[in-house]
Amino acid sequence: MDELSQKGRLWRQLCFDMGLVDIKLLGVQFARLVMSSKITDKIIHLGFVVVFRVEGLQVVAQRAITHRADIHQVVIAIILLIGMQCVNDLPALRG
């Protein structure tokens, strides 16, 4: 899967997890990792606060979501979020 497809899939999943349906999204204001916990050697939980921009509004939602995935998928997700320039709290990613 190429990088563009991964970004699209991550974007759609974030929108779905945030409960944003039938809204014209313009982008992400920011995304910040607010919680992480290790479940096993390969499974961890990540909590993100994501703020979206929508047509006619600056911010539509700010909710924590939890992403449960293989550690490699989590690393890919973080890299893609940074690539989309929507992570503004890099120290939180190191914690």
Rounded to 10 deg, the angle between the 3-17 and 71-83 helix axes is 100
Quickly state the pLDDT bin for 95 (edges 50, 70, 90): very low
What Rg value do the Cα atoms of the chain yield, rounded?
Answer: 13
What is the tens place of the pLDDT at every residue in 46-79? Answer: 666 666 565 555 444 444 444 555 555 555 555 5
What gap in Å lies between CA 2 and CA 46, rounded to an integer?
24
Q: Which residue has the higher pLDDT, 13 or 26?
A: 13
DSSP 1: -
Whole-number pLDDT of residue 52: 59
pTM > 0.75: no
Mean pLDDT score of the chain: 56
Closest C-alpha to 30, from 55, 5, 60 = 60
Q: Which residue has the higher pLDDT, 16 or 21?
A: 16
> Token match 């293989």: residue?
70
Query: Measured in Å, how far apart are the chain's first and last C-alpha atoms?
Result: 29
Average pLDDT over residues 86-94: 43
